[in-house]
Structure 1
Amino acid sequence: MKMKTLACSVALLAALSLALPAGAAEKLVVGTEANGIPISFLNPKTHELDGFMLDIARQAAKHAGYEVEFKAMDFSALIPALRTGKIDLIATGMYITEPRKKVIDFTTPVYSYGEGMIVRKEDTKDYTSFKELPGAVVGAQMGTIFIEPLKQANIFKDVKAYDTLTGIMKDVNAGRIKAGFGDTPSMAYYLSLGEYPNVRLVKSYKPVLPGSLGLGVRKDEAQQLAKLNEAIATMQSNGEITALLEKWKLN
């Protein structure tokens, strides 16, 4: 009986090995946020995950010899999911910061920008700082680096934490909060679509938290990080990143 069981196991392993194509690329599950146009979002036309950072992940992975599968989740869940192995990579509008670098690694930066401020169009003041809104109710997205400085300022009536950037924009549009803070390219893109007719991006606002985006990698994946960094260097030198910035109107 034991010999028969062993023979069956060997046959099963052989069949599985034959089923896998020779030289099949390792697949990386890439976690992303689905509400950050044009950085990472669910495309309403194709009903597929899309965006600048997803294109970066897709092309960098191809250069490095990987395949990718994208998985949408809340922004605040991305780092925990990466650390516990539920995903293998993060590709979204996540700033490279020192606190985050203590728990995950990041690739070479691929894009830099600062936070933006939105208010209702009827509010025409040329704000340059959030400190010009004492006593107001403002909002920022949970899990981003924007929310803590607002809370620590101790000047607001309330700092509301939102799961999504669109939630912030809806509440500013409806007048439920005075101002919202978030990724400038995403807010500008949403406004260009005309989805929030009562909202404007404050062009006079001076960002206090400029940052850069990179792909998030688990701490124990040094080889994977090296391969992706080499791929990004290739993409920087051959013009691929520049082309993607133009594609998503980020330059």
Structure 2
Amino acid sequence: MKKKLYLLASILLVIGILTACGSNKGSGNNNASGNNSGNEAKEAKQTFDVQKVEVTPTELTGENIDRIKEKGEIVLGTSAEYPPYEWHIIDGAEDEIVGVDLEIAKVVAEKLGVELKVSDMQFDGLLAALQTGDIDFVIAGMVITETRKQAADFSEPYFEQGQDIVIKKVDEDKFKTIDDLAGKKIGVQLGTTQQEYAEANFDAEIVAIPNNNNMIMELKNGSLDAVFMTNYPAEQFRSRSPEDLMVVDFDIPNEDGSGIAVKKGNSDLLAVMNEAVEEIKAANAIESWFDTFMKLSEETE
């Protein structure tokens, strides 16, 4: 039965952040790369309503479910520099990670009746952390691929989106088609499906960079000629520098759907993830969350 949908008119709740040793690699760039501080960020958060999903507690049991319930918390692994999926908002001493993926994680935690903890790390280290047990699940706009399915088990997809190229505005007349980028330097995030696609399909020098914020800075300073990423984050980075950057659509095929990853073999926990995805889809919440967090990202720049 479809669950009822309602609006929660309140401030975005602060999610406890668990910083594992070494998990914040490269995070020294956070403040300089679109994370906000002070009263402006706080005021912006207060104006946004986040659609909530009516969550049914899971009746599933299993070794991993029981372990998490006994511990009283579940640890999410994510890479919080990818708005509107997830990014930092800093208000004085308060560092909050917000975004679409965090809302999904809240649903998972609520289904299990436990507290949500967040471990923020570089994207290319997420599946390794899952395998070593440092985190319980991954939600980071991670696309389901055959290669990744060898390292982790994935839920049903919760979202699919397109892929775009970001260039400097001054190069608008220079790069009209993807062929115009032949031999040029195109930045991609390390370990992503954009890296795989670009290396297989673009006749260009592909530069893999761990951090999206650093990649955009490399584009601005001329070290890169273009950046290849999914369209929501591409639009967010453009909106932060509308005088300098633009997004161009070269009819690149959509990427495959994004899913929630758990350690391979954790079938009981995977079943909970699929329950959460089903409830979220039934409530049509994903589109609403993207709209909300796109706007919030622009307001808190």
Q: Give the aligned partner of residue 290 of structure 2.
A: 245
Describe the shift of the 1:242–1:199 C-alpha distance in structure 2 as closer, same or farther (beyond 3 A): closer
2:258 paired with 1:213: yes
Q: Give the AA of the match of 2:209.
A: Y
Whole-angstrom CA distance in 2 between matches of 1:112 and 1:153:
20
Whole-angstrom CA distance in 2 between matches of 1:150 and 1:211:
15
Q: Percent of pairs identical after alignment?
A: 25
Name which of 131, 142, 146 aligns with 1:83: 131
Whole-angstrom CA distance in 2 between matches of 1:154 and 1:188:
21
Q: Give the aligned partner of residue 28 of structure 1.
A: 74
Q: Give the aligned partner of residue 240 of structure 2.
A: 193
Cα deviation, residue 43, structure 1? 1.7
Whole-angstrom CA distance in 1 between matches of 2:254 and 2:177:
12
Q: Secondary structure at the match of 1:96?
A: coil
Q: Secondary structure at the match of 2:208?
A: strand
Q: Give the AA of the match of 1:28.
A: I
Name which of 264, 276, 281 aligns with 1:236: 281
Q: Give the aligned partner of residue 16 of structure 2.
A: none
Larger Rg over CA atoms:
1
List gaps (5 residues or longer) in structure 2: 1-68, 296-301
Describe the shift of the 1:24–1:148 C-alpha distance in structure 2 as closer, same or farther (beyond 3 A): closer
Q: Give the aligned partner of residue 43 of structure 1.
A: 89
Cα deviation, residue 243, structure 1? 3.3
Whole-angstrom CA distance in 1 between matches of 2:255 and 2:173:
23
Q: Secondary structure at the match of 1:244?
A: helix
Describe the shift of the 1:104–1:78 C-alpha distance in structure 2 as closer, same or farther (beyond 3 A): same
Asked whether the 8 Å contact 1:64–1:231 carries over to 2, the reply is no
After TM superposition, the structure 1 = structure 2 runs for residues 146-157 of structure 1, keeping only pairs within 5 Å, are 146-153=194-201, 155-156=203-204
Cα deviation, residue 127, structure 1? 5.6
Whole-angstrom CA distance in 1 between matches of 2:191 and 2:97:
20
- RMSD between superposed Cα atoms in Å: 2.3
Q: Give the aligned partner of residue 112 of structure 1.
A: 160
After TM superposition, the structure 1 = structure 2 runs for residues 105-144 of structure 1, keeping only pairs within 5 Å, are 105-125=153-173, 130-144=178-192
List gaps (5 residues or longer) in structure 1: 1-22
Asked whether the 8 Å contact 1:88–1:217 carries over to 2, the reply is yes
TM-score w.r.t. the length of structure 1 is: 0.80
Cα deviation, residue 94, structure 1? 1.0
Q: Secondary structure at the match of 1:122?
A: helix
Asked whether the 8 Å contact 2:73–2:114 carries over to 1, the reply is yes
Q: Give the aligned partner of residue 57 of structure 1.
A: 105
Describe the shift of the 1:229–1:102 C-alpha distance in structure 2 as closer, same or farther (beyond 3 A): same
